[in-house]
Amino acid sequence: MRVLGIETSCDETGVAVYDTALAGAAGLRAHAVYSQIALHARYGGVVPELASRDHVRKLLPLIRQTLDQAGLHARDLDGVAYTAGPGLVGALLVGAGVARALAWALDLPALGVHHMEGHLLAPLMEDDPPQAPFVALLVSGGHTQLVAVEQIGRYRLLGQTLDDAAGEAFDKTAKMMGLPYPGGPQLASLAEQGTPGRYRFARPMTDRPGLDFSFSGLKTQVLLAWRDSDQSDATRRDIARGFEDAVVDTLVIKCQRALEAAGSKVLVVAGGVGANQRLRARLHESAARHGGRVCFPRPALCTDNGAMIAFAGALRLQAGQHDDAQVKVTPRWDMATLQALAPAA
């Protein structure tokens, strides 16, 4: 089954084609992402109306480009999947409208995909994918959650952030230290050059039981350290390293607790922060120490992309699920309400 995936939940326009007839990573026939970072940089954050307009401009050319890269025509498709939520309502409606129109014109089934389920399932596109049950860490600019995955579509929330998501904390901390938007990746890059241990910050909520996260107090610690410092380039690097170490240590500790609570040895990590190299290294070390396994998508598929939507949609379309012709999005959508897929025979 060849499925076109469309992602327009926020500030990336993503399109991909996934072919279920091909195994593992080969199933991703083509994918392309257009980022709106340059558009929003002058405002220091995403402007929803501008995001929606840019999706309108970029989506159809990106669909044509992706089909060309896949060596396919629109008539060769077997289904269309699109992000229906969570996300910015205007941005979601652009992708949903185009997807529904395309499906109607080609007489194809179409399905709205949960954005976070797309992230969660992205590592399953790689070769030697993990099999449920497992524990998933969804860690991005908008979400930090630990989820027990009993089977595809059956998810149980184990813990989540009580305030800022980890990626949001990266971006806000970078902004406090004068780094331009989006600051998270730049902060991580600076941390690579920082001196370990020069600044040590708290590992929030690791001194008590539970699987929830909180990063607001950590941001305050960093702000106070930065204000009281000489604010030199060297100090910025050292503070960045101290902050990143604190976030990574916290995530690693909570992941191990979640695995123990769920009785699992397999951890799946997805979302934009999943591309962080220090986090990847530390989780691999933890998995090796505890006799477990950790699985990531390739870095290009950690941030928002059409590939994860095409894949998640293909699994559900293949199982016979599809939506009616109504153009409908769900900006707030609890993943626990999703329909479970029957395990493969």
3 state DSSP class of 149: strand
What value, to the nearest 5°, has the Cα angle with vertex 297 and ends 291 and 299?
A: 120
Q: Is 112 annotated as belonging to a binding site?
A: no
DSSP element (H, E) containing 59:
helix 48-70
The two structure tokens encoding residue 96? 């949903």
- Is 305 labelled a binding residue? no
Neighbours of 330 (CB within 10 A): 16
- To the question of whether residue 87 is assigned a binding role by annotation, the answer is no
Q: Would you say 216 is a known binding-site residue?
A: no
Tell whether residue 79 is among the known ligand binding residues: no
**Has 217 been labeled as part of a binding site?**
no
Residues 6+ apart with CB under 8 A from 344: none
* Residue 276 marked in a binding site: yes
**45 is an annotated ligand-binding site residue:** no
DSSP 194-228: SPTTSS----TT-SSSSS-B--HHHHHHHHHHHHT
Pairwise CA distance, residues 268 & 138, whole Å: 8
Q: Tell whether 114 is in a known binding site.
A: no
On whether the CB atoms of residues 274 and 297 are closer than 8 A, the answer is yes
User: Is 55 among the annotated ligand-binding positions?
Assistant: no
286 known ligand binder: no
Residues in the annotated binding site for substrate: 138-142, 171, 184, 276
List residues forming the annotated binding site: 115, 119, 138-142, 171, 184, 276, 304
Annotated binding-site ranges for Fe cation: 115, 119, 304
